[in-house]
Structure 1
Amino acid sequence: MDAIDRANGLLQLYTELTLAELPVGAEVFDAHTHLGEDIDGMVGDRDELLAIQRAYGISRSFVFCLDEPDRRPCFTAANDRTIAHAGAASAELLPFVRLDLDESPVEEATRCLDLGARGIKLHPRAQRFLPDDPRLEPVFALAAERRVPILIHGGRGLPPIANSLARLLDRHAPPALIVAHAGIVDLAAMARNFAGRPGVFFDTSVWSPLDLLDLYRLVPPEQVVYASDYPYGRQPNSLLMAVRTARACGFDDAQVRALLHDTAAGIADGLEPPAPGAPQGPTELSHPVTFLRIHQYLTMASAMLWLRHSSDTYGVVGLAINACDERSNGHREQTEQIRELLVATRELWDLASQTEDDADRRRAQRGAFRLVHLASVLAVTHAA
């Protein structure tokens, strides 16, 4: 319990720090959240999501189901649950219909849009298709006709998709296309095709702050929307990473407000997309080696926690803690903050290794993952 209490205390401390770093009175719109139960065991709970949103000033969010065990046929049952969840909090949750191209996608999309869905969610990795699949043509045509946005997975697990997605968009342009996870699957080509193109947006739901720094230098601020990817992405990590990386790239208060709320709110309300300006952000970073070492070890630790290793068999958290102890780098205060997070991480991971109950062990591992991620965000953004 000491380890859990210490971790919760740190998360509360960073909640307060994160809220203090937002522009005064800033609203937040989360463009990427899930409710339901995924086949990988992850659960998105409506009451938890609403509590998080209210605690962090998140006024609205786009919400869709996970890759549910009862997804067949057509994601019908899961989509119905999403619409029901949104109906119970209609001012806060805006439902999207999730589609499987193998199972009547246009019919299911039409049914859910008629029931109040506000957009379409596509996941080419989970549902095993690519943007050059001819079955996508009528889906994009329907979105263009009904004037609803599409959000498409653009993260891990795919081959390059930017060029084929651009060709599809040339034929059928919905009012907004949101490429999830900053388009990291194909970011350079995404930027070549879409930077400066009105109506195409990228959401910030990634693990690494380095991905956001690269996104901001390639894509105009007007084309970026904040997203957490709840329940995979958590607070305060998600907001802190988005804001700190934006500030590191020179975003002013108006640009941060747009990233956090105004651009996504415009998509939700059917407004004309803003005219994109120019990307901003450095093409190179000068970073203290100490922070680079810490980030390297924490990337290793994160992968192990994500894969549910029962313990830190390689000792990478210990290596990161030792890197924090270097005293001549001129960043002692910052490395002490990171060290505090990592000591709590090690305690939680040790607790997980001693816990027999599967659910309790997973909770401890996920808590350790959140602390590792916070430490990694600090390691990248303190100096940036």
Structure 2
Amino acid sequence: MYADHLVQPWYDRLLADLPAGPVLDVHTHLGDSDAVTASYEELVSALDAARARSLVFPLSEPDGSYRHANAACLQAAERSESRLTALVRVVPDEVDDVEELLDRGARGLKLHLSSDQIELSDPRLEPALAVADERRLPVILHAGPEVGSTGADALATCERWPGLSLVMAHCGLSDLGRLHRHVGEVPNLYFDTSWWTPAHLMALFRLVPPGRVLAASDLPYSTPVNHLMSTGRCALQAGLSPDQVASVLGGQATRLLDGDEPLDLGPPPAEEAREVWPFLEAASTNLLAALEAMQRGLEPEVPLQVARHACDVPGDDPDAPVLASVLRLLDLYEEHREHLPRRNGFTPGWDLLSAAAVVARTPAAPLP
């Protein structure tokens, strides 16, 4: 999907330095909504490229009902040969369906507060949360930029239902600035990494214990190859050990999915593994500016040119190998941009610039 085949060497190089173990993406979608689509074939192909499994749940439905979409995710999981595990997207009017769907093979819940116009404290959700608590299931909670603060409700939910694992999606960005201070008080609070800026990934890894962070791509908004590569590189740059990174990429999520006790992997690192020098910062910052336009279907324009200039350093510069790797991704973009299909409104090749922005910000991670 997208330009995964071109980003693949950076992902493969990342895994080569990590202990062997399961790779599990906790945040992928199926469906057709919000001007984006994700088919079963696209999801399975993207997971195969990442040698990964995923949790899957529906994209938003215009009519607010998820009966057919939840059933479609269950059917997809059944035909996927264990590559997919379905979660139930829950709305108050369909809470009575939750136990039946779990009995049929779903292994958790998804709550999207903004799209489905609900509150985590809505008493109508209590039967679903009680079942998740009883069965020790993950509950993925949307915590994206348009959501108001849910931190108090999240903490209250974790305390009231200690058997469930509440996963704040999108780096918990709506509440991370305050919520990270309370992680030690609630052992069942987690965060997934499905956000596109390395700044939020770095904040998550520097503020939250590694055992509470779970890798996620948010396909079709990204892909497992692209975003698990970003997650792993940022984890290494933040100072996590290879064992801790392997846990983030799937080890801990697999334990939660299987109902096993999660591992305590220690505190967040005290300092980054390597300093980020000025030209790396310049390249990464300008590529993120270019990427924001490309996510709206526009051309990268001047920020891409500025990023290229930042990569032009002498061969004896200590960051020359990293900047050369960034430049290789930009060259791949120029070489293939006219031949990549336009999908979901994104400018073709956006994921190559996304990967380049992350590589520039993570000089401590290995290069292909």
TM over 0.5: yes
**Root-mean-square deviation (Å):** 2.7
In structure 2, distance between residues paired with 1:364 and 1:160? 29
* Mapping for residues 102-117 of structure 1, pairs under 5 Å: 104-117=93-106
In structure 2, distance between residues paired with 1:323 and 1:126? 40
The offset of 1:283, in angstroms, is 7.4
Counterpart of 2:22, as a letter, is: E
The offset of 1:144, in angstroms, is 1.7
The offset of 1:147, in angstroms, is 3.3
Indicate conservation of the 8 Å contact 2:31/2:59, yes or no: yes
Give secondary structure in 2 for the equivalent of 1:325: coil
Q: 2:323 aligns with which of 322, 335, 341?
A: 335
In structure 2, distance between residues paired with 1:290 and 1:347? 24
The alpha-carbon distance between structure 1 residues 57 and 249, as it changes in their structure 2 partners (threshold 3 A), is same
* Mapping for residues 1-384 of structure 1, pairs under 5 Å: 10-23=6-19, 25-37=20-32, 39-58=33-52, 60-69=53-62, 72=63, 74-101=65-92, 104-195=93-184, 197-275=186-264, 277-282=266-271, 286-309=275-298, 311-312=299-300, 314-327=301-314, 329-346=317-334, 351=338, 360-362=341-343, 365-382=346-363
Counterpart of 1:338, as a letter, is: V
Give secondary structure in 2 for the equivalent of 1:127: coil
The offset of 1:20, in angstroms, is 2.4
In structure 2, distance between residues paired with 1:258 and 1:330? 31
In structure 2, distance between residues paired with 1:281 and 1:105? 45
Indicate conservation of the 8 Å contact 1:95/1:119, yes or no: yes
Indicate conservation of the 8 Å contact 2:49/2:225, yes or no: no
The offset of 1:128, in angstroms, is 2.1
Counterpart of 2:47, as a letter, is: Q
Indicate conservation of the 8 Å contact 1:141/1:173, yes or no: no
The offset of 1:374, in angstroms, is 0.6
TM-score scaled to structure 2, two decimals?
0.88
Counterpart of 1:27, as a letter, is: P
User: Matched residue pairs, number?
Assistant: 363
- Pick 1 or 2: higher relative contact order, CA cutoff 8 A, min separation 6: 2
The alpha-carbon distance between structure 1 residues 15 and 256, as it changes in their structure 2 partners (threshold 3 A), is closer
Give secondary structure in 1 for the equivalent of 2:221: coil
In structure 2, distance between residues paired with 1:14 and 1:177? 31
Give secondary structure in 2 for the equivalent of 1:124: coil
TM-score scaled to structure 1, two decimals?
0.85
For residues 192-236 of structure 1, give each alpha carbon's deviation from its aligned partner in whole angstroms, at most 9, with x where no partner exists: 222463222111222122212211221111111222222212243
In structure 1, distance between residues paired with 2:303 and 2:116? 35
For residues 30-68 of structure 1, give each alpha carbon's deviation from its aligned partner in whole angstroms, at most 9, with x where no partner exists: 11111222x22322222232233233221x321111113
Give secondary structure in 1 for the equivalent of 2:173: helix
The alpha-carbon distance between structure 1 residues 156 and 330, as it changes in their structure 2 partners (threshold 3 A), is same
Indicate conservation of the 8 Å contact 2:30/2:58, yes or no: yes
The offset of 1:183, in angstroms, is 0.8
Give secondary structure in 2 for the equivalent of 1:158: coil
Q: Which runs of 5+ in 2 are unaligned?
A: none
- Decide which moves more: 8-17 or 373-382: 8-17
